[in-house]
């Protein structure tokens, strides 16, 4: 059987590549989506730790919360489904800031944006492309590296995505987290999240949540769960085996050639020259 062509798997919307799992009708209707004041958005570029973050956040609430699949995942009936859910909704998304439904912004909903260093993100995405039948076939890391730098991958350019959100770094309703900080000091990050969400959580409970939220713990929990395709925090797949791979910081060094690394640094320095947050990205722990 021949592999499905790129045209069958990817479509462009407002200049950004999406998989066909995000229908054009749904994407067009996002502008009318009715946000609620108590919605919490979990935002990331793909392969930045969204599932891990979602696992932590759902454990912080002891009341009923519903973790939905990403707002851009599905067809037009998705918005109807979300409307029927009782509050509180925790809604993941890989949308850049400009494509976010305006009512989330107008109602100042709380949003958490998780950032992972783009070299590890690129490597993680490469493996994801290779293992995911919903994405175009990639022949080699070299080919993928070029696509990633140009932004010719699902969800578009990492740089543009990051910069569209960083413009709002002073908005009080947005918390920016670094994936590498979660790896280094999860209790501190969990404490920051709980304060941001206005949750009063004891240090003992935070320690307990961190124990249950280690990367390896979450990976094995995820793989044990029955595969309910609705139960996804990623807009690109519902296959739970593809979600957690290594989760390491610095895996890029096993893939990047010195020449690729120089090229990446050049593009990074050019695109990020005005970015304050880019200086905090950690490439190894």
| Residue 251: predicted pLDDT | 85
Query: DSSP secondary structure string, 244-268?
Result: -S---SSGGGGT--HHHHHHHHHHH
Task: With a cut of 70, list the residues of the chain below it in pLDDT.
Answer: 1-7, 215-247, 284-285
| Residue 4: predicted pLDDT | 56
Tell me how long the chain is.
285
Phi, psi of 23 (to 5 degrees): -75, 145
Joined together, the tokens standing for residue 115 give 């950032």
The catalytic site residues sit at: 94
Is the Cα dihedral 69, 73, 74, 75 positive or negative? positive
| CATH class of domain segment(s) 22-280 | alpha beta
Summarize pLDDT for 145-189 with one digit per residue, the tens: 999 999 999 999 999 999 999 999 999 999 999 999 998 999 999
| Residue 106: predicted pLDDT | 96
């Amino acid at each position: 059987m021949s592999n499905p062509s790129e045209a069958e798997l990817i479509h462009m919307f407002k200049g950004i590549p999406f998989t066909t799992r995000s229908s054009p009708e749904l994407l067009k209707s996002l502008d009318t989506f009715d946000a609620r004041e108590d919605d919490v958005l979990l935002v990331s570029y793909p392969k930045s730790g969204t599932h891990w973050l979602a696992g932590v956040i759902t454990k912080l609430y002891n009341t009923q919360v519903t973790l939905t699949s990403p707002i851009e995942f599905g067809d037009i009936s998705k918005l109807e489904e979300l409307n029927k859910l009782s509050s509180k909704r925790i809604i993941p998304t890989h949308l850049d800031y400009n494509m976010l439904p305006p009512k989330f912004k107008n109602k100042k909903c709380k949003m958490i944006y998780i950032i992972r260093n783009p070299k590890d993100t690129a490597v993680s995405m490469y493996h994801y492309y290779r293992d995911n039948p919903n994405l175009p076939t990639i022949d080699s890391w070299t080919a993928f590296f070029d696509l990633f730098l140009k932004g010719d991958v699902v969800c578009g350019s990492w740089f543009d995505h990051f910069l569209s959100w960083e413009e709002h770094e002073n908005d009080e309703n947005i918390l920016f987290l670094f994936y590498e900080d979660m790896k280094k000091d999860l209790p501190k990050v969990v404490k920051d999240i709980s304060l941001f969400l206005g949750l009063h959580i004891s240090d003992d409970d935070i320690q307990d949540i961190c124990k249950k939220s280690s990367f390896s713990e979450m990976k094995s929990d995820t793989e044990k769960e029955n595969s309910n395709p609705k139960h996804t925090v990623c807009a690109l797949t519902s296959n739970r085996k593809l979600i957690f791979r290594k989760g390491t910081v610095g895996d890029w060094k096993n893939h990047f050639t010195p020449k690729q690394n120089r090229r990446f640094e050049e593009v990074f320095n050019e695109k990020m020259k005005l970015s304050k947050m880019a200086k905090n990205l950690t490439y190894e722990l």
